[in-house]
Structure 1
Amino acid sequence: MDNYGFVRVAAISPKIKVADVKYNTDEIMKVISKIAGENISAAVFPELCVTGYTCGDLFGQDLLIDAAEDAIGGICEFSKGSDTLLFVGAPVKVNQFLFNCAVVIQNGNILGIVPKTYLPNYSEFYEKRWFSSATEAACDEVNYCKRNAPFGTDIIFADKNFPEYCIGAEICEDLWAPVPPSSYTALSGATVLVNLSASNELVNKAAYREELVKQQSARLIGAYVYSSSGVHESTTDLVFSGHLLIAENGGILSESKRFERDSAKIESYVDIQKLSSERRKNLTFRDSAADNYKPVRKVLFTQNRDRVNSIDRFIDPHPFVPSDISTRDSRCREIFNIQVAGLAKRIEHTKDSRAVIGVSGGLDSTLALLVAVKTFDALGIGRDNIYTITMPGFGTTDRTYNNTVKLCNALKTNFKKIDIVNAALLHFKDIGHDPSVLDVTYENVQARERTQILMDIANKVKGLVIGTGDLSEIALGWSTYNGDHMSMYAVNCSVPKTLVRSLVKWVSENEMDEDSSHVLVDILNTPVSPELLPADKSGNISQKTEEIIGPYELHDFFLYHFLRYDAPPSKIIFLACNAFRGKYTKEEIKKWLKCFYKRFFAMQFKRSCIPDGPKVGTISLSPRGDWRMPSDASVEVWLKEIEKQD
């Protein structure tokens, strides 16, 4: 699919003159002309924009209603040659009643007409004075502008060539109802909901309106496009602001400035593939659809959308780490508390009041240690019951060793150094391995020796071995099977590498004393490494993980979109190229994505038997929870798709 599941939508609030249908139609057509060539799939105009919402008793005048019908006919003619779906608000007379409607136009045709269900008739509103509710409609088809068109709230507009892309419409007050009509259209398949509105402004109403839109998009796992009347409506008693909003699954993608004097427009790509994936996974959504089924009529349309090569929508290169500082701090506090609560429960349950942690001076073991310290503080257990064991090997550098010693001393843990070099050399001799051969055996002997020491000390002191591996390492299998892969409780198991750094930084700044914070700053600046190969001639780290398996920020990006939204390789490459534009080339992204898929598939056997640990975010690889995959699945389909990307 050339658009990777994206469609571009727009919300528009044109200039109007109240009851001047000719002027309003001209302004609508001007905006339609401006969006031509912008790859807009659907454009949403405000409620009753052809006449203006504030016509009052003029809605009783046939002259105005007939002029509105002629105007819609003119917009239909004007739209010929364009496959953009236009949602235009107009009063529509059906038999002896008048309805407040969304008229859906494409390429000279009226695809359908959706009437408003809930008519506000309180405070400053008295729509029932002129309009009838959709519930009072006695027909499901009308002849309007000399065209036969489906009529009703049971209509969904569906893309013939993109089945997941379906649009449902509602009008203003419908959204404010306890159960909006969009709830039913979404449960019947609409992934994009549009609202033609004329919501006036009051103190704090804009914030409440925005929350309504966000919440409805989240509840329906859909996109919501909201367009409201602007400042040129009558100000006899009310003022309107032209509030425009585009939301997707609880987040605002685009929002207009309010009180603009000219025609206003916002646009955004919405991700239909992502929404469809979320709905498939969310079984509550599926069950709700079954419990609240209402038959719908699907009106099919087709569009020739341009290939999407780049998008102006923000693609976060670090989806696990909020870019907003206050949000990031709040997220880190929440995650850290979850980790602490998880470990506290396990300690209370096992009645083991001691913990054993292998500390290396790296980020992962540092975070696990900080979690243990806060847990023991919360439980009122002395920190001397935290056994911190550092086990220097062939690749341990002075920097990481010294940082380990300083941190453990600052935190007042029960610190012990056990050098594993002699034990490893003896093991090499026992198994007939040449220690000058720096292969996987050379590395894993050290990892397993360390784990054996930790397990034996835990048995000796009646404590728990606290695992330090993070989500990114689990995804890539970057651990030694039955070595650092194993523990008795893994506190970092659903924390990705890119977030580990933020967590350690947050704890350093908010939870630690000055001496501990000073050491943590240097740990944060240390290259990521398992330190299983000898240091270089200058005594610095020679084995840098990201030079071997690729940048963790890329792997975390791949992991997020692969697991969270089931994105295929083609889409992940497209998203990564946009998110990391100027930092990584497309070829580099493809190279490391291949590495990601190969390792992810090949290392499932390790994930099938990982220890318990707390889920802290939307992604977890626990075989008991979020991820169940055969250990012998083939990766070829995914690799072949990567090869197809030019």
Structure 2
Amino acid sequence: MKITIAQINPIIGDLSGNTQKILEAANKAAEDKANLLLTPELSLCGYPPRDLLLKPGFVAAMGIALVQLAQNLPANLAVLVGTVEENAQADVAGGKSLYNSIALLHQGEVKQVFHKRLLPTYDVFDEHRYFEPGLKANYFNLDGVKIGVTICEDLWNDEEFFGKRSYSINPIADLSSFNVDLVVNLSASPYTQGKQSFREAMLKHTALRFDKPIIYVNQVGGNDDLIFDGRSFALNRQGEVTARACGFDADLLQLAFDKQQQDLNFGSISPDCESEDEEIWQALVLGVKDYVLKCGFSKVVLGLSGGIDSSIVAAIATAALGKENVLGVLMPSPYSSESSIKDADDLARNLGFKTEKLPIGNLMESYDGTFAELFADTGFGLAEENIQSRIRGNLLMAISNKFGYLLLSTGNKSEMAVGYCTLYGDMNGGLAVIADVPKTRVYSLCHWLNKNGEVIPDNVLTKAPSAELKPGQFDQDSLPDYEILDDILQRLVNDYQSVEEIVAAGYDKSLVNKVIKMVARAEFKRRQAPPGIKITDRAFGTGWRMPIASNWLKVEDTYQNKPVSVSSTTRRK
């Protein structure tokens, strides 16, 4: 049996466009004499559709599109398509009104519909908001092969692999009891750094445990803050990867199932990324490209300070959209060093994009005059520093409005975590490109980018980071060294460690408490930030749901140095 994976890049809500992508993949699969085509979870509407699912017209249109697609597919090709089906029993038996489903299309008809059984509600997922879980094991027969069907999360509940169950059932165990020959999993699994190796390790364990070959199909592309990395793959019964699609791009992957051996044959195996930096770079480039184009833009603008953050964002934007579609704006103040201006010019020359220079000294003087009476008898401080940032933010937004360019903000995760950023200033923008990239990783990415020659000017990598909002200012005047800060943030934000656990790792307690308070107090800023591209397990985006008005820090102080009953190591990733 020949099987084709269609690793497509859907646009959420674009039913006609997504249908066309599935149809094109089906026609190519039919030309290759494939018997079965596999598409990702919710491939018809794109994942995640979020509250579009609350619109009855959207769900009804999806049903019409599904029937039309079935009628237009090659007659001899069976196709599994991700869709939504209404729960006919919701009014009588209760429950949600929709199922997250996979439809089997064959010979012009919708032959069967299978429902997702495990619905995630952690991190960025909120599927119980919309869907009712399926109750039955899903499988079908095609050309004498019994094929089990699972949808994304249905794979992620092996108590042997995770050490516990997060749900009461294991759909793979259920399918094994029905003696299926092959398991397929149709996913829309968002990217985080290192996740692919985790997926392959998890499914190797599953294949070996149940003695079943498994085909894993993933969506690709950027949808809002989420990146889907593709890298669909297949494993034989021995847990060996027999085929892998490319990463961060659409792909068609051909597979062959040997009926006599009851196993998958080896096929094309695309190489994976050589380093973490390469993987993150590809994710960010894809995220920028898809966000810009899917939102209807073609060009972007960003402020160039000569610093490392704006440098890496400019490099990402150039790779994603082409140098002709990037505008960098230099906005020097009286405090800007000549070397920073030169660094920004050198970066633009290395990457080949256009720049404009808009000095802000006169605008700063105008603000000083306006506030002269009100600010009399006060010293230069945070208010004046922030005015500079807000002047720049206004200029960039004006350019965005005038020419229809999307403004990219350039703040990194370390700054976003502790509030080292200015509302209505450097936080202005339509997309926060590196908002989930810690400062230390920004440096690492820049060094990786320079491995074959200078892209980021060397001086940018070696000078002390500074916002240059007053004479002699450096980031470390207000923050710990970034190596220290990023490790504390990793332990606090990603690993859920307590004060005692972080202190036990060698950090001063007063410093840890200071960082914790900075993170909490910056929540109101993050709530007003543009969407950022998620690359870690714990991003300040749709999966981060902290209150702004909270007294927990005061309460937490009373619990420090007391034993806790739940270890952070038990939390599921």
TM-score when scaled to structure 1? Answer: 0.45
TM-score when scaled to structure 2? Answer: 0.50
